[in-house]
């Protein structure tokens, strides 16, 4: 995952980006990209250095990384190993770093990086996440079923609901 530096364009030469939240494991390790508009100073501070809560919710073929920075609400990012581009898709044991989550916050309106952070995952949480990814990677995949299943989950649950049912959880307080 490209991280860039705070104040620099996330994608050089591109000033407007589509809002999205993307978690993935690739050859560099675990990453969470948050691209959004109307970013507050509080959000920047919380993501850059505030308390962090993470969770893992599994629903069928989908892993949801749950996250909460500082005083924000719970949010989520659905993940499937099968959707990572093949040139960077690896099993957890093949990634450079699997004990850290790299987080990048980008302003969608100007494409500038607002916060970058590396969050150390506690060993139990990292092991569980990596195990779930390995199980998922060794399973079958249908893009259409994946998309339908994500919609089904979002029609039933909020990120807060998923947190209540999480298979794993970790908290870093400052």
pLDDT at site 174: 64
| DSSP secondary structure, 10-33, as one string | SSTT------EEEEEEETTEEEEE
pLDDT computed for residue 143 by the predictor: 85
Q: Does residue 6 sit within a domain?
A: no
Residue ranges making up the domain that contains 24: 20-165
pLDDT tens digit at each of 174 positions of the chain: 566 799 899 999 888 999 999 999 999 999 999 999 999 999 999 999 999 999 999 999 999 999 999 999 999 999 999 999 999 999 999 999 999 999 999 999 999 999 999 999 999 999 999 999 999 999 999 988 999 999 999 999 999 999 999 999 999 886
Give a yes or no: residue 55 inside a domain.
yes
Kindly report the pTM of this predicted structure. Answer: 0.95
Q: How many domains does the chain have?
A: 1
Contacts of 30 (CB under 8 A, 6+ apart): 23, 24, 95, 97, 98, 100, 101, 102, 121, 129
Residue 172: inside a domain, yes or no?
A: no
In a domain, 12, yes or no: no
Confirm whether 170 is domain-assigned: no
Query: What is the model's pLDDT at position 2?
Result: 61
Please give, one letter per residue, the 3-state secondary structure of 115-141: EEEEEECCHHHHHHHHHHHHHHHCCCC
Structure confidence at residue 31 (pLDDT)? 97
Cβ atoms 161, 74 nearer than 8 A: no
Give the span between the Cα atoms of 47 and 54, in whole angstroms: 13
Specify the pLDDT at position 164.
96
pLDDT value of residue 14: 87
Please indicate, yes or no, if residue 59 is contained in any of the structural domains.
yes
Task: Let me know if residue 14 belongs to a domain.
Answer: no
């Amino acid at each position: 995952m490209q991280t860039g530096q705070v104040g620099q364009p996330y994608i050089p030469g591109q000033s407007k980006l589509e809002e999205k939240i993307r978690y993935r494991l690739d050859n560099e390790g675990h990453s969470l990209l948050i691209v959004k508009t109307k970013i507050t100073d509080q959000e920047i501070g919380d993501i850059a250095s505030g308390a962090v809560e993470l969770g893992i919710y599994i629903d069928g073929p989908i892993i949801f990384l749950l996250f909460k920075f500082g005083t924000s609400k719970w949010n989520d990012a659905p993940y499937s190993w099968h959707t990572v581009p093949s040139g960077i898709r690896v099993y957890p044991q093949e990634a450079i770093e699997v004990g850290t989550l790299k987080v990048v916050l980008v302003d969608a309106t100007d494409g500038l990086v607002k916060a970058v952070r590396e969050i150390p995952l506690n060993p139990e949480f990292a092991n569980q996440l990596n195990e779930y990814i390995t199980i998922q990677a060794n399973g079958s995949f249908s893009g259409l079923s994946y998309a339908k299943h994500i919609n089904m989950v979002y029609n039933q649950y909020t990120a807060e609901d998923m947190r209540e049912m999480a298979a794993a959880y970790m908290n870093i307080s400052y």
